[in-house]
Amino acid sequence: MNFIRRMGSGDKEPEVVGTYLVLTAILHLSGLANPPWFAIRGYEWIVLLLIGLAAVLVRRRFLVASSVAMLLAGAGLLAVGSIGGYFLVFECVFGLFLLGSVRTRTVALALLCLAAISLAIATWLGTRNPQEVVLALLMAGFILFTPMLWAENVRTAKELANAEAQRAQAVQSAADAREDQLVAEHDFSRVQERTALAREMHDVLSARFSSIALLSGALLPAAPQEVRAPLQSIRDESVSGLEDMAAMVRMLHAGGPALQARIEDLPELVAGFGSPVRWEYRVAHPQRFGPAVHTAAHRTVCELLVNHAKHAPGTTLELSVVQEKGLAITASNGLRQDAGRAPGAGTGLENIRTRVAALDGRFEVRTGPDFAVHVEFPGPAEAMEKP
């Protein structure tokens, strides 16, 4: 069935040529032939067959010329009694109506009608028998108009397939355009949300940070010596918080990436912390880590320091940041009886867990005699930083 479908599609000229060559040879070897108009010697009909089959191979490039060659070769084969001539006449008509333009098909149809009428007139003049005329018309219709109808059906099927492909492409293009529109709408909504968030942060938090900085700064000159250091730390932290918030507001307005920090800034961060910290820092090559690991490590240490100050004040925080295969951060402290009662949002450890998961790291929390948090960020070779 696939072979017949390929033959009938008109797209496999080499298979058509091979099939006609084999069939014609079998017919001649079997002795099946038409009454010849004139006799020839031996296998001279092969020359006419090869000329016609060669024309089939080049019909896509030279349609009219190859069709004329097929018609003449087919007529010649029929004249010498070869049934193979019918194959070439069939392909001549089939090719014209499959590959030809509208004008070519119109001219070909007129010539087919003229040929059928001429054959009927010649039959009548030669026999004066109406039955012979009808038989001649039936033969002409079968030989000439069957390939025309077949070619028109194939051509219509291909045009329908092309139209369906174009429709599917148009549907896909519409879907892509709709997707782009939804993405644009989402981006616009996100910009609006970021702008509103920036406005709220500026209006609500800037006044509070400024008040803390002013009040702590005003208390410094008159404060006793033992509280000046904590007051100075409060003022410095509030000023730094105000600057960070201003940078965050600018980032939200601009729609840029999140603020980045550096692992190298951790010693200074820990040194400015008010509570006692037993600190180990061994990071020989911080530049090997990507920006995402730098920022996540800095934010993690900040969360751990704040968590200790809120939930375990008065205890010593054991903190280490060590570069091995990746970057390991460990924090532990003794538990107080009232641990967990300090005010706060309660999202510090969850924020750490989220940052670590985004970088395919490892996060552990252990409770017992001591409270401990262990974080590992992947090394440069295995880091898979996600947006």
pTM of the complete model: 0.44
Stretch 323-330: mean pLDDT: 92
pLDDT band, very low/low/confident/very high, at 178 (cuts 50, 70, 90): confident
Per-residue confidence (pLDDT) for residue 68, from 0 to 100: 92
Which of the residue ranges 34-43, 186-195, 311-320, 361-370 would you say has the lowest mean pLDDT? 34-43
Phi and psi torsions of 171, nearest 5°: -65, -45
With H, G, I as helix, E, B as strand and everything else as coil, classify residue 373.
strand
Phi and psi torsions of 329, nearest 5°: -125, 125
Per-residue confidence (pLDDT) for residue 206, from 0 to 100: 65
* Residue 330 C-alpha from the chain's centroid: 42
Per-residue confidence (pLDDT) for residue 182, from 0 to 100: 81
Q: Say which residues have a Cβ less than 8 Å from residue 279's Cβ, sequence separation at least 6.
A: 267, 270, 319, 320
Residue 242, token pair as written in the block: 């105000």
**Statement: residue 337 has pLDDT above 70:** no
Stretch 268-287: mean pLDDT: 85
Q: Please check whether residue 55 is in contact with residue 13, taking contact to mean a CB–CB distance below 8 angstroms.
A: no
**Statement: residue 131 has pLDDT above 50:** yes
Which of the residue ranges 71-75, 278-282, 367-371 would you say has the lowest mean pLDDT? 367-371
DSSP calls for 185-229:
HHHHHHHHHHHHHHHHHHHHHHHHHHHHHHHHHHHTTTS-HHHHH
**Statement: residue 37 has pLDDT above 60:** yes
Per-residue confidence (pLDDT) for residue 376, from 0 to 100: 94
Residue 189, token pair as written in the block: 């909504």
pLDDT band, very low/low/confident/very high, at 219 (cuts 50, 70, 90): confident
Per-residue confidence (pLDDT) for residue 329, from 0 to 100: 95
Cβ count within 10 A of residue 88: 28
Model pLDDT for residues 246-269, shown as the tens digit of each residue: 666 665 555 555 556 789 989 988
Stretch 282-296: mean pLDDT: 89
DSSP type of residue 303: H
List of long-range contacts for 21-24, beta carbons under 8 Å, 24+ apart? 21/49, 21/53, 23/84, 23/87, 24/49, 24/82, 24/83, 24/84, 24/87
Stretch 116-135: mean pLDDT: 87
Q: Please check whether residue 352 is in contact with residue 303, taking contact to mean a CB–CB distance below 8 angstroms.
A: yes
Per-residue confidence (pLDDT) for residue 116, from 0 to 100: 87
Instruction: Name all domains of the chain by residue range, CATH numbers in brackets.
Output: 2-170 (no CATH), 260-387 (3.30.565.10)
Which value, in Å, is the radius of gyration of the alpha carbons in the chain? 46
Stretch 321-325: mean pLDDT: 91
CA distance 370 to 287: 33
First-to-last C-alpha distance (Å) of the chain: 54
290 or 241, which is more confident: 290
Model pLDDT for residues 69-92, shown as the tens digit of each residue: 999 998 888 888 888 888 898 899
Phi and psi torsions of 229, nearest 5°: -65, -45
- H or E, element range at 330: strand 327-334
Which of the residue ranges 180-184, 340-344, 361-365 would you say has the lowest mean pLDDT? 340-344
Q: What percent of the chain has pLDDT over 90?
A: 15
Per-residue confidence (pLDDT) for residue 387, from 0 to 100: 40
Per-residue confidence (pLDDT) for residue 373, from 0 to 100: 94
**Statement: residue 203 has pLDDT above 80:** no
Q: Say which residues have a Cβ less than 8 Å from residue 270's Cβ, sequence separation at least 6.
A: 277, 279, 281, 301, 305, 319
